[in-house]
């Protein structure tokens, strides 16, 4: 370590670093992880979609319309005769010789697309009524439609459905993680702190839970969810089911940290200083593994998201009219459908992007989590 | 070593005759790239190793000595890179090859490593593979370099293991490294390094992880092997005592530079670089007995990032010439006889016999320690303390023989004294300390502490709140300055924590007291807001001391408080502990394995073996007239600080190892290793710790000794006289 008295041009920097606390050091290390920072931004974008789903949606995602079934994605033309004028062509619905429905764009009929356009009414934070949307068609005319990613069988805008699905899928993950975090930290903490019989019992429970194959377990539990429950009830039931399995990992991590820290000299010395047990836990132990917990949590999130998607895809999780990535992908279950209407596979993209982003972000956090690691 | 073609003619050991050089390193430079520049980890190292010579590289941590060894072997780990220099090795055919030009992982370099240069490292556990037997690894080493049959390889391995003193070598050949003890592992490592008979052995801190008696065994072995085979040794160490024992020539390094080199006697008795002088003087062994202040070097080894301009040592040098040393980097000055030093004043003999100390107080001042009156009642009484740990193993948790870490230990600590508790690892000294502070519960016996009103407080089974107030009176300083401070708290918070949680001070009073404490241990106010990561090991230990003293304790347990520190910093901390004791009238229980430190700081010493005290007495008495065979062996195992004395000294080399505390020997626990064991009483009857008067004890109270024959044995001690000051 540097002698702070030594005359040095970088003295100011060294001083600042010397007085830098844990979070500043973690941040410094995290920043060096380019990919993780980029992924962090991606995650932020995802959650802003969660918070302002209606703003990003183009149209109401629940109203079916037989007239608009399975329209392919509409291409946006940004310029008109060299001038900035984003527009799409109106689609014309026809039946071909085989009586198949085909949609062809009609270059003569231009529909103007504008940003911050007016559309259906919604409430910001559930309070402030507004009808602004990120993107929309000018003029509220039923004939003017914008399907960025096409429509599904029932003629609903896939883009808007994906926006709402993001909200459902990512909140299931968040709530699920919170639940399993609570369970994991509580049980893992008790296990690591008290040891003995309590520890043994909790560890055996964890082993049993972990030894049950997850898919059949979920299927069993999901099958037990009554068919007549409302969308919200099912939603919470599924969250609880998913977190019931994933808390074990967190509990193990927390227990391990407690056990390791109990032996650390600085914890022993806190005890000798006369700190009470609670103070040792909350002032000395928890801060020293909080960053680890955050990292592990970030790495658990994509597992949750994937679980929800898998369950819903199999028809065991959220059910229509609820919208989630898994529910949307259900429509792509059939190979033929995929061949003819490939845009129905679009919901797989955010799943992949979100899971990758969470994983890279979590990895970066984990590496940065312990700025005091002496490697 | 096997077969006539591989025998290297043993050279005359005559120091006067310049030996033909085996390895010549010239201008070796190894750098590391950092954002915004390069760090010169090695900045032009010259080393020459003659045939059949031992050259020791010595320096504090961070001076680049290990990197030197690795650079020579071309094994520098990235991001370090070797950027220049020559490494000339004389091959078996007498032709020199420049290893710096070879591909580090190419065929030629691989065949040099192992066949021409053997290597041993500090931690044999990581250098030996845990999944191959010792024999397989040795056979592989042989097959790599020579075409021999499996049978012959096996036979040579057995011979080699026998040669390094591994008992039952044929059986050990099929053992795995984790089945061997530390000393045995280091022997196996040496056997492996030497199995192809390399003319040069590079040993990087080979004994640092070992106990002093095991270290003596290994050093002896290396000396013997060198005499037998005529190989050369490049020995890297931080311990000047080991240098004095082993070296023909010494190379002193500081911040990636060789600052002084020369024949060992010359460097020890006429050091010409202020750093070498300071290093020698800050060593407690040099200072001799208790009572003298050590001459510490100011500050710590700077970070390479902050390498001073001019002479790299000038910011710590007591003799720096202003205007010269802080601007111009000196060149090595040849002083004749192969002795040279890199200093502007190297050719002038030191003006003063005693180098002015840079310690905050005056130099070499004799401090009269407060008289420990033998009549004052003890502050802490330990009576027949036992600490056993139950062991359970396997799925069904079957009970195994308990680990008997401490057995019926009795000890009294007098107020105001420094009592040393010494012993090798596993003797139970740390366990005893932890039990006194009650982070461990005793299995039997009692611990009692004297209160202010003179009454004795039984702390053996003290419950919660009373324990809290007891722990304000008895504090602890930890060994590892890195793990003992909460990295998430500032210095102010760390030092203030005991005051806060005990409700002693708060608000501005707390701040004032913390600031005063921090100043008392030699830190500055501006350090208060910093986090531990901004401090060096020595500074962290000061923070730990401030925390221990914050609640005005009466007694402090120093658990190996200086053993993780570099010598120069160690001296600062020892001086600080002594000053604080004088100021505050503290009582120290000083737990340590380093005999020279104990001899320096302690008033009385208790020597522990296998969980019990074998000898207890005044420090001088114990060191100069030990009455227990183990004490005597321990003392003679410690390296002597004077290179000239090593030839004629009589030493007891202990065979065997410290016993397993789960299976202690019957009778006297030392009997399997004791040269004086009688085979009857010693095997059957445990000796009691009793005062044994001796002829030498002129008026001093006799040592208490646990040996049946303490009164009749004549035992060697270490020389009472510290080596003559240069
Ligand atoms: S050159 Fe100057 S500063 Fe450097 S060691 Fe010599 S006297 Fe000290
Ligand atoms: S009692 Fe016997 S075995 Fe033990 S130290 Fe004395 S002489 Fe040696």
**Are residues B418 and B581 in contact, defined by beta-carbon separation less than 8 angstroms?**
yes
The beta-carbon neighbor of A273 closest among B488, B501, B526 is: B501
**Is any Cβ of chain A less than 8 angstroms from the Cβ of B438?**
no
- What confidence score (pLDDT) does residue B514 get? 93
Alpha-carbon distance B537 to B544, whole Å? 11
- Are B611 and B427 a contacting pair, CB within 8 Å? yes
Is residue A130 located within the same domain as residue A175?
Answer: no
**Torsion region of B587: left, alpha or beta (phi above 0 gives left; psi -120 to 50 gives alpha):** beta
Q: Domain check: are A231 and A350 in the same one? A: yes
Confidence of residue B359 (pLDDT cuts 50, 70, 90): very low
Give domain status of residue A29, yes or no. no
- Say what the pLDDT of residue B649 is: 67
Is residue B628 over pLDDT 60?
yes
Distance from the alpha carbon of residue A5 to the mean position of ligand 1, in angstroms: 19
Predicted local confidence at residue B356, as pLDDT: 33
- Kindly report the three-state secondary structure assignment for every residue of B247-284: CCEEEEEECCEEEEEEEHHHHHHCCCCHHHHHHHHCCH
Beta bridge partners of B615: B607, B705
Q: What is the pLDDT of residues A261-318, one digit of tens each?
A: 888 889 889 988 888 888 888 888 888 787 778 888 888 888 888 888 888 887 777 7
Q: Which of B572, B636, B577, B639 is nearest to B285 (CA)?
A: B639
Q: Is residue B249 a contact partner of residue B22, using CB atoms and an 8 Å limit? A: no
- Assess if residue A251 is contained within a domain: yes
Q: Does A325 map to a domain?
A: yes
Interface contact flag, B482 A21, Cβ < 8 Å: no
3-state secondary structure of B37: strand
Give, as one character, the DSSP assignment of residue A204: H
Q: What pLDDT is recorded for position B179?
A: 81
The yes-or-no verdict on residue B397 having pLDDT over 90 is no
CA distances from residue A18 to A11, A25, A290, B520 in whole angstroms, order as listed:
10, 10, 22, 21
What is the CB neighbour count within 10 angstroms for residue B228?
Answer: 11
Residue at which a domain ends, from A113, A146, A179: A146
Residue A64 lies in a domain: no
- CA–CA separation, B70 and B693 (whole Å): 53
* A142 and A167 part of one domain: no
For A72, A195, A344, A348, B631, the CA distances from A339, given in Å and listed in that order, are: 13, 58, 10, 15, 88
Q: What is the pLDDT of residue A375?
A: 36
Q: Is A25 on the interface with B (CB under 8 A)?
A: yes
CA of B217 to the centre of ligand 2 (A): 21
Q: Does B220 touch chain A (CB under 8 A)?
A: no
Nearest-10 Cα torsion for A284, A286, A287, A290: 160
Task: Print the domain residue range for A318.
Answer: 161-368
pLDDT > 80? residue B267: yes
CA distances from B635 to B505, B615, B616, B690 (A): 47, 13, 14, 21
**Selection from A348, A200, A208, A365 nearest residue A295 by Cα:** A365
CB contact under 8 A, A21 and B485: no
A266 vs B486: CB contact, 8 Å cut-off? yes
The two counts, helices (H) then strands (E), for chain B are 22, 24
Q: How many CB pairs under 8 A join A and B?
A: 96
Whether residues A202 and A312 share a domain: the answer is yes
Q: Tell me A285's DSSP state.
A: I
Nearest by CB: A272 against B308, B315, B476: B476
Q: What long-range pairs does B41-46 form, CB within 8 A, spacing at least 24?
A: B41/B67, B41/B80, B41/B256, B41/B304, B42/B67, B42/B68, B42/B71, B42/B256, B43/B255, B43/B256, B43/B257, B44/B85, B44/B257, B45/B71, B45/B85, B45/B253, B45/B256, B45/B257, B45/B258, B46/B258
Q: Residue B109 pLDDT > 80, yes or no?
A: yes
Closest CA to B532 of A120, A374, A12: A374
Q: Give the span between the Cα atoms of A181 and A184, in whole angstroms.
A: 5
| A299 shares a domain with A165 | yes
The token pair at B443 is 């299995």
Q: Is the peptide bond before A321 cis (omega within 30 degrees of 0)?
A: yes
Using the 8-state DSSP alphabet, how is residue A64 labeled?
-
For B585-620, write each residue's pLDDT tens digit. 999 999 998 888 898 899 999 999 999 999 999 888
Higher local confidence (pLDDT), A235 or B163: B163
C-beta of residue B26 within 8 angstroms of C-beta of residue B85: yes
Rounded CA-CA distance B74/B113 in Å is 9
Question: Range with the lowest mean pLDDT among A206-220, B105-119, B232-246, B478-492?
Answer: A206-220
Measured between beta carbons, which residues in chain A are less than 8 angstroms from residue B313?
none
Per-residue model confidence as pLDDT tens digits over B269-328: 889 999 998 888 887 776 544 456 777 777 777 777 778 888 989 888 888 888 888 888
**Residues B178, B176: Cα–Cα separation, whole Å:** 6
Percent of chain B with pLDDT over 70: 88
Q: Which helix (H) or strand (E) holds A178?
A: helix A158-194
> Is B261 within 8 Å of B254 (Cβ atoms)?
no
Q: State how far the Cα of B481 lies from the Cα of B537, in Å rounded to an integer.
A: 6
Give the SS3 label for residue A363: helix
In ligand 2, which atom is closest to the CA atom of B687? Answer: 1
Confidence of residue B72 (pLDDT cuts 50, 70, 90): very high
Q: Which of residues 269-308 of A touch B (CB under 8 A)?
A: 269-276, 279, 284, 287-288
pLDDT of B474 reads: 94
Mean pLDDT of B39-46: 89
Q: Is residue A45 in some structural domain?
A: no
Question: Do A325 and A198 fall within a single domain?
Answer: yes
Question: Which of A111, A146, A181 finishes a domain?
Answer: A146
A119 and A268: one domain? no
| A50 three-state secondary structure | helix
CATH number of the domain to which A364 belongs: 1.10.3720.10
Exposure b/e, B91-128, CB count within 10 A at least 16 = b: eeeeeebebbebeeeeeebbebbbbbbbbbbbbbbebb
Picking from B306, B480, B535, the nearest residue to A8 by CB comes out as: B306
- List, as one string, the DSSP characters of B149-196: -HHHHHHHHHHHHHHTT-SSHHHHTT-BGGGS-HHHHHHHHHHHHHTT
The token pair that represents B354 in the structure block: 């005693």
For residue A314, give the DSSP letter.
T
Same domain? A326 vs A355 = yes
Question: Which atom of ligand 2 sits closest to the CA of residue B681?
Answer: 2
Length of chain B: 726
Say how far apart CA B577 and CA B522 lie, in whole Å: 11
A199 and A92 both lie in a single domain: no
Same domain membership, residue A355 and residue A300: yes
Residues A193 and A132 in one domain: no
Here the contacts of A22-29 (C-beta below 8 Å, separation 24 or greater) are A22/A287, A22/A291, A22/A371, A22/B487, A22/B488, A22/B531, A25/A371, A25/A372, A25/B533, A26/A291, A26/A368, A26/A369, A26/A371, A27/A368, A28/A371, A29/A367, A29/A368, A29/A371
| B110 torsion bin: left (phi>0), alpha (psi -120 to 50), beta (else) | alpha
By most ligand atoms within 8 Å of CB, the mutation choice from B297, B302, B321 for ligand 1 is B321
Chain B residue at shortest CA distance from A266: B484
In a domain, A7, yes or no: no
Q: Name the one residue in this structure whose structure tokens are 């399993």.
A: A180
Q: Residues 514 to 553 of B: which have CB under 8 A from any A CB?
A: 526-527, 529-531, 533-536, 539, 544, 547
- A175: in domain: yes
ipTM above 0.85, yes or no: no
Digit-coded pLDDT (tens) for B421-462: 998 888 889 999 999 999 888 999 999 999 888 888 998 888
Cα–Cα distance for residue pair A120/A115, rounded to 1 Å: 14
Task: Give a yes or no: residue A155 inside a domain.
Answer: no
B698-722 per-position pLDDT tens digit: 556 778 899 988 888 777 765 543 3
pLDDT in tens, B651-683: 777 877 788 888 888 889 999 988 888 888 899
CA distance A243 to A266: 34
* Length of chain A, in residues: 375
Angstrom distance (rounded) from CA A256 to CA A203: 11
Q: How far apart are CA A307 and CA B267, in angstroms?
A: 71
Q: What is the DSSP letter of B525?
A: G
Please, what's the b/e burial string for A133-151 (b: 16 or more CB within 10 A of its CB; e: otherwise)? bbbbbeeeeeebbbbbbbb
Give B197-241 as a DSSP string.
--SEEEEESTTTTS-HHHHHHHHHHHHHHHHHH--EEEEEES-HH
Question: What are the b/e assignments for A68-96, b being 16+ CB within 10 Å?
Answer: bbbbbbbeeeeeeeeeeebbbbbbeeeee
Number of domains in chain A: 2
Out of A322-331, B76-85, B469-478, least confident range: A322-331
CB contact under 8 A, B308 and A6: yes
CB B71 within 8 A of CB B42: yes
Indicate if A127 and A200 belong to the same structural domain: no
Q: Return the pLDDT at B396.
A: 63
Terminal alpha carbon distance of chain A: 16
Q: What average pLDDT does range B554-569 have in this prediction?
A: 89
Last-in-domain residue among A112, A146, A180:
A146
| Mean pLDDT to the nearest integer, B131-149 | 86
Q: Given a cut of 90, is residue B494 above it in pLDDT?
A: yes
Q: Tell me: pLDDT of B6 over 60.
A: no
Q: Do A288 and B488 touch (CB under 8 A)?
A: yes
Walking along chain A (375 residues) 10 residues at a time, the average pLDDT comes out as 43 65 76 86 88 78 70 75 76 73 74 74 74 70 68 78 85 84 86 82 87 79 78 78 81 86 87 87 82 81 83 77 80 74 81 88 80 51
């Amino acid at each position: 370590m540097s002698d702070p008295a030594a005359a040095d041009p970088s003295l100011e920097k060294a001083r600042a670093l010397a007085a830098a606390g844990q979070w500043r050091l973690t941040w410094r290390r995290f920043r060096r992880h380019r990919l993780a920072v980029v992924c962090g931004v991606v995650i932020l974008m995802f959650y802003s979609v969660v918070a302002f789903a209606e703003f990003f949606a183009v149209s109401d995602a629940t109203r079916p319309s037989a007239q608009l079934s399975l329209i392919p994605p509409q291409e946006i033309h940004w310029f008109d005769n060299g001038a900035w004028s984003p527009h799409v062509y109106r689609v014309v619905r026809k039946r071909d010789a085989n009586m198949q429905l085909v949609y062809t764009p009609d270059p003569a009929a231009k529909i103007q697309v504008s940003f911050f356009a007016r559309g259906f009414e919604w409430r910001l934070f559930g309070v402030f009524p507004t009808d602004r949307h990120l993107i929309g068609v000018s003029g509220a005319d039923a004939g003017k439609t914008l399907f960025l990613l096409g429509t599904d069988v029932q003629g609903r805008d896939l883009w808007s459905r994906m926006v709402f699905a993001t909200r459902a899928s990512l909140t299931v993950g968040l709530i699920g993680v919170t639940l399993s975090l609570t369970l994991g930290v509580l049980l893992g903490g008790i296990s690591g702190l008290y040891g003995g019989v309590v520890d043994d019992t909790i560890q055996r429970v964890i082993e049993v839970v972990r030894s049950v194959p997850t898919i059949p377990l979920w299927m069993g539990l999901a099958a037990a969810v009554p068919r007549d429950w409302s969308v919200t009830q099912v939603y919470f039931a599924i969250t609880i089911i998913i977190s019931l399995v994933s808390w074990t990992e967190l509990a193990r991590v927390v227990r391990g940290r407690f056990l390791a820290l109990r032996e650390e000299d600085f914890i022993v010395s806190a005890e000798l200083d006369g700190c009470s047990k609670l103070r040792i836990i909350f002032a000395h132990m928890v801060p020293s593994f909080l960053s680890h917990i955050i990292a592990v949590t970030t790495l658990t999130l994509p597992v949750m998201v994937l679980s929800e998607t898998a369950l819903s895809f199999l028809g065991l999780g959220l059910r229509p009219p609820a919208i989630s990535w898994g529910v949307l992908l259900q429509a792509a279950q059939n190979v033929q459908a995929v061949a003819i209407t490939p845009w129905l596979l679009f919901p797989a993209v955010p799943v992949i992007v979100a899971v990758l982003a969470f994983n890279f972000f979590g990895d970066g956090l984990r590496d940065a989590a312990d700025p005091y690691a002496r490697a | 070593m096997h077969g006539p073609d591989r025998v290297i003619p043993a050279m005359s050991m005559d120091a006067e005759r310049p030996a033909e050089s085996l390895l010549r390193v010239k201008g070796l430079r190894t750098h590391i790239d950092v954002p915004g520049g390069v760090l010169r980890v090695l900045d032009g190292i010259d080393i020459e190793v003659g045939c059949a010579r031992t050259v020791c590289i010595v320096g504090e941590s961070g001076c680049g000595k290990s990197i030197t060894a690795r650079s020579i072997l071309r094994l520098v780990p990235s991001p370090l890179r070797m950027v220049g220099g020559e490494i000339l090795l004389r091959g078996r055919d007498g032709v020199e090859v420049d290893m710096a030009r070879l591909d580090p992982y190419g065929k030629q370099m691989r065949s040099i490593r192992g066949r021409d240069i053997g290597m041993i490292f500090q931690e044999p556990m990581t250098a030996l593979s845990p999944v191959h037997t010792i024999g397989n690894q040795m056979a592989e080493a042989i097959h790599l370099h020579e075409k021999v049959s499996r049978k012959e390889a096996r036979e040579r391995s057995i011979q080699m293991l026998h040669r390094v003193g591994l008992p039952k070598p044929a059986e050990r050949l099929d053992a795995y490294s984790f089945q061997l003890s530390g000393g045995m592992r280091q022997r196996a490592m040496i056997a492996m390094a030497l199995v192809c008979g390399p003319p040069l052995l590079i040993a990087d801190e080979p004994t640092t992880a070992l106990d002093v008696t095991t270290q003596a065994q290994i050093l002896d072995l290396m000396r013997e092997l060198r005499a037998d085979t005529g190989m050369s040794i490049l020995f890297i160490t931080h311990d000047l005592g080991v240098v004095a024992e082993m070296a023909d020539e010494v190379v002193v390094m500081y911040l990636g530079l060789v600052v002084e080199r020369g024949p060992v006697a010359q460097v020890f008795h006429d050091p010409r670089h202020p750093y070498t002088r300071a290093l020698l003087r800050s060593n407690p062994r040099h200072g001799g007995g208790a009572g003298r202040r050590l001459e510490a070097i100011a500050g710590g080894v700077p970070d390479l990032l902050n390498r001073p301009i001019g002479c790299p040592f000038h910011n710590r040098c007591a003799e720096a010439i202003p205007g010269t040393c802080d601007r111009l980097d000196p060149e090595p000055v040849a002083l004749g006889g192969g002795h040279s030093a890199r200093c502007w004043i190297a050719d002038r003999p030191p003006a003063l016999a005693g180098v002015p100390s840079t310690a905050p107080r005056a130099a070499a001042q004799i401090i009269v320690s407060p008289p420990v009156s033998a009549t004052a009642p003890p502050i802490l009484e330990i009576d027949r303390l036992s600490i056993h740990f139950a062991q359970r193993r396997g799925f069904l948790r079957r009970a195994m023989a308990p680990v008997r870490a401490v057995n019926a230990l009795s000890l009294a600590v007098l107020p105001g004294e420094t009592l040393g508790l010494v012993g090798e690892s596993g003797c139970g000294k740390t366990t005893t300390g932890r039990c006194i502070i009650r982070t461990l519960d005793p299995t039997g016996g009692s611990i009692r502490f004297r209160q202010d009103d003179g009454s004795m407080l039984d702390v053996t089974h003290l419950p919660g709140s009373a324990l809290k107030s007891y722990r304000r009176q008895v504090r602890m300083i930890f060994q590892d300055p890195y793990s003992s401070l909460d990295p998430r708290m500032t210095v102010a918070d760390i030092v203030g924590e005991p005051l806060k949680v005990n409700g002693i001070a708060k608000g501005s009073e707390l701040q004032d007291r913390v600031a005063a404490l921090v100043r008392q241990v030699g830190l500055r106010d501006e350090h208060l807001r910093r986090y531990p990561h901004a401090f060096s090991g020595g500074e962290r230990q000061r923070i730990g001391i401030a925390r221990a003293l914050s609640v005005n304790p009466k007694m402090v347990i120093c658990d190996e408080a200086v053993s993780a520190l570099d010598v120069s910093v160690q001296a600062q901390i020892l001086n600080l502990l002594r000053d604080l004791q004088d100021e505050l009238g503290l009582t120290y229980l000083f737990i340590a394995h380093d005999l020279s430190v104990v001899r320096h700081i302690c008033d009385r010493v208790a020597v522990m073996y296998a969980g019990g005290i074998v000898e207890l007495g005044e420090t001088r008495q114990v060191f100069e007239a030990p009455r227990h065979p183990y004490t005597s062996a321990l003392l003679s195992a410690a390296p002597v600080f004077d290179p000239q004395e090593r030839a004629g000294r009589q030493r007891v080399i202990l065979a065997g190892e410290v016993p397993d505390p789960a299976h202690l020997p019957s009778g006297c626990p030392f009997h399997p290793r004791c040269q004086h064991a009688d085979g009857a009483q010693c095997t059957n009857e445990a000796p009691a710790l009793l005062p044994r008067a001796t002829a030498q004890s002129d008026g001093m109270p006799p040592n208490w000794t646990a040996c049946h024959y303490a009164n009749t044995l004549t035992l060697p001690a270490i020389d009472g006289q510290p080596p003559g000051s240069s």
